[in-house]
Amino acid sequence: MSKLMSILSVSAFFIASLLFVQCGESSEDAKLKMEEDRQQMVEEFNEERDQLLSELRELRDEMDEELRELGSRMESAGEELNEGVEDAYAELTDDRSDLQRAIDDVENATVESWEKVKSKTEEVYSDISTQFADWRDSIEESF
């Protein structure tokens, strides 16, 4: 009986060791998978952020150019300037500031805050780009 008990004890120890090793491997595999998933998420975040930043900066640069041109036109128009043009200039300046804040938010976004920042920024971008297109049309009519 003691020989049987020894065999059972050794077998139980061996089985327990196998289970422990397998669980350890599964844990390591799970850790590796989690790290791979996180790395992929970081890469996607960086790609999306870079793309959005590019679009925001392009719109900001267009707005800067329009502000420079309008400023020059306003100076040369003098007193004949339509009051609505000054208001439009002020609105565009405010929109440009909102756009710069959105750029700053995107630049400072983290993987964890990305979805919220992205959603808010896309809304700001859409609103400002629409207003900017409308603004361009109205300004051209004023001069």
Tens-place pLDDT, residues 47-101 = 999 999 999 999 999 999 999 988 887 777 766 666 667 788 888 999 999 999 9
Let me know if residue 3 belongs to a domain.
Answer: no
Question: How remote is the C-alpha of 14 from its chain's centroid?
Answer: 52
Model confidence, pTM: 0.72
Let me know if residue 4 belongs to a domain.
Answer: no
Let me know if residue 69 belongs to a domain.
Answer: yes
Let me know if residue 19 belongs to a domain.
Answer: yes
Token digits of residue 18 = 């196998």
Number of domains composing the chain: 1
Mean pLDDT (whole number) for 16-28: 59
Let me know if residue 134 belongs to a domain.
Answer: yes
Mean pLDDT (whole number) for 127-140: 85
**What digits encode the pLDDT tens for the residues 4-13?**
455 545 455 5
Let me know if residue 27 belongs to a domain.
Answer: yes
- Mean of per-residue pLDDT scores for the chain: 82
Q: Range of 113's domain?
A: 9-142
Burial class for 136, CB neighbours closer than 10 Å (0-12, 13-18, 19+): middle
Q: What pLDDT was estimated at residue 81?
A: 62
Sign of CA dihedral 22, 24, 27, 29: negative
